[in-house]
Chain A
Amino acid sequence: AQRVTQPEKLLSVFKGAPVELKCNYSYSGSPELFWYVQYSRQRLQLLLRHISRESIKGFTADLNKGETSFHLKKPFAQEEDSAMYYCALNWGAQKLVFGQGTRLTINP
């Protein structure tokens, strides 16, 4: 069963426009969720985690337990935000499972 769902495989927005990458999850316990990013020719790396409630590179993500969502948002997209973004769930404190990924392209 898919535990993390990212409904958009591709997302294209213009520079300066708001960005929202969707992530929904299914988990019976208290979820621990993350966003990872893979820039071109770089390794997959952690962008942010819901527990820290921080803003990284202008991105934020709020956990909505009622909607079982953890959408990633940025008010003003920049060209350097173009990358592959993965939502991830820490499943059972040991397994780390990922969604299908969303390729974000920021057009100039």
Chain B
Amino acid sequence: EADIYQTPRYLVIGTGKKITLECSQTMGHDKMYWYQQDPGMELHLIHYSYGVNSTEKGDLSSESTVSRIRTEHFPLTLESARPSHTSQYLCASSELGGTHFYGYTFGSGTRLTVV
């Protein structure tokens, strides 16, 4: 079973609301990532972190923000949700790179709908 957990699984929310998507992992991975994926489409990296107090923006510009106060926790926040934010958000984590890199572990995703 996955050792990375995302909540909620589904979220329908009104325009202008503030939301936080939760992501936690129990594997002690230093690296964590947020991807955005529209149905049937490719994944786009929106945020990543290489450790506590380290966060970077990804390749796709996003109005969301992230924080990394604890190794296991990497929440994503939208201050004011809009219909254009409707998408699936996938959280992932990985170990160190180089020869110790064995790929990402993904959570089950949060499907966000903003109405």
Q: Do chains A and B interact in one complex?
A: no
